[in-house]
Amino acid sequence: MLEIRGARRIFTTPEGGKVTALDRVDLNVDENEFVTLLGPSGCGKTTLLRAISGFEMLDGGTVRLEGADLSKLAPFRRPINTVFQSYALFGHMSVARNVGYALEVRGVDRAARERKVSDALETVGLSDMGSRRPSQLSGGQRQRVALARAIIAEPRLLLLDEPLSALDRNLRQQMQLELKALQARLGIAFIFVTHDQEEALTMSDRVVVMREGRIEQIGTPREIYRHPRNRFVTEFIGETNIFALTVDRIEGDLARARTAEGTCLSLPAAGRSRGEAVTAVLRPESLHPGAEGIAGTVMRSVYLGSDLVIFVRPEAGGAEIRVTTRDGADAPMTGDAINLAYDPAVIHILEDR
């Protein structure tokens, strides 16, 4: 539905330098798809969102929606709405008038406008709050008003610029699920901007990981988490353990490899060769205490309720290994000797180290 080709945007700094915010970005978004742009501050995700909405004009490339070129259209000419981080609600207007304002500007008659406002407020669960002012609402309720205002005009595409960042953790987690359910009910595409990995993994059909104006990887949340393309994506998406290894020998279906300090790991042998340098990724939840494995000592632990994160110093030396395990009477304690077991099949080898 949305096709972006070769998007470029260059800003001039106050000192007269140049910053490339978007560097020949290509992206497709399908009908009824929830796509998240994820990356650190300054990676270009908000610039890309603004280029789609028309608030930022590209220096090169095209933006097409259902085949129509939007590149030169003003924001109000595009069948796209945006939910801003600040919500941008009119404080002097009631909730109902905030939601129906776009229809009011378009000259939609009062009866039709009130009907659509009622439907939009019902969709976001605020049917009984139309007469209130934004200042009389909680943060989550204001966020719902901003959503209702964005969907009332029935856009083909909805853009969301970190709309949950001002909410507390519990409300943010609740709204993540509500947003995904709302998107499925409306049947329109959402493009969501965030730097929060949990939000991206929770809500998205696909995640677009960005860095320095470029796309590093596009994939489903599972693909991004389990099969990151390079070290940047690996470290940005969740907690992880990264091992720089050299393959010592091949034994049947397994390759034996070790770090410079001497910690030994077993990898799938397919595609490996003796003497090869590889970078291996093991997520904390893929390791667990066992009879055999990486020998080490528990240095410290962090209690997370049902889970316990322990940090293990390998017997051979090197960086501490992070492990997520279940808390309980037999949970490892600081100072315990431990063997970290794992399934070699879950080890992921980075394509680009």
Q: What is the CATH number of the domain that holds 125?
A: 3.40.50.300
Same domain, yes or no: 50 and 117 = yes
Domain boundary among 205, 236, 267: 236
Residue 164 has pLDDT above 90, yes or no: no
Distance, in Å, from the CA atom of 188 to the CA atom of 267, rounded to the nearest integer, reads 43
- DSSP-assigned letters across all residues of 241-281: EEEEEEEEEEETTEEEEE-TT--EEEEE-TT--TT-EEEEE
pLDDT of residue 193: 93
Q: How confident is the model at residue 151 (pLDDT cuts 50, 70, 90)?
A: confident
- Give the pLDDT band (50/70/90) at residue 276: very high
For 52, counting Cβ atoms within 10 Å of its Cβ (0-12 exposed, 13-18 middle, 19+ buried), the class is: buried
Could you tell me if 75 and 180 lie in one domain?
A: yes
Average pLDDT over residues 248-261: 93
Per-residue confidence (pLDDT) for residue 162, from 0 to 100: 85
CA 142 – CA 138 distance, rounded (Å): 6
- Boundary-marking domain end, from 197, 220, 236: 236
pLDDT tens sequence across 83-135: 887 778 888 999 999 999 888 888 888 999 899 999 888 888 888 889 999 99
- Asked if 73 and 189 sit in the same domain, the reply is yes
Together in a domain, 227 and 270: no
Tens of pLDDT, residues 51-80: 999 999 999 999 999 999 998 888 888 989
In this prediction, residue 218 carries a pLDDT of: 97
Check whether residue 148 and residue 259 sit in a common domain: no
Do residues 291 and 220 share a domain? no
Let me know whether 314 and 194 are in one domain: no
Domain end (from 210, 236, 262): 236
293 and 163 together in one domain: no
The domain that holds 261 is classified in CATH as 2.40.50.140
Range of the structural domain that residue 311 is part of: 241-349
When the pLDDT of each residue in the chain is averaged and rounded to a whole number, the result is 90
Give the predicted TM-score (pTM) of the model: 0.85
Residue 311 pLDDT > 90: yes
Contact at 8 Å (CB) between 295 and 315?
yes
Residues 328, 226, single domain; the answer is no
Q: How many domains does the chain have?
A: 2
Maximum C-alpha span of the chain: 77
Confidence of residue 353 (pLDDT cuts 50, 70, 90): low
Mark whether 109 and 225 lie in a shared domain: yes
Same domain flag for 141 and 21: yes
Neighbouring CB atoms inside 10 A of 295's CB total: 15
Place of tokens 């909405």: 53
- In the chain, the N- to C-terminal Cα span, in Å, equals 34
Residues 282 and 323 in one domain: yes
Give the number of other Cβ atoms within 10 Å of residue 167's Cβ.
18
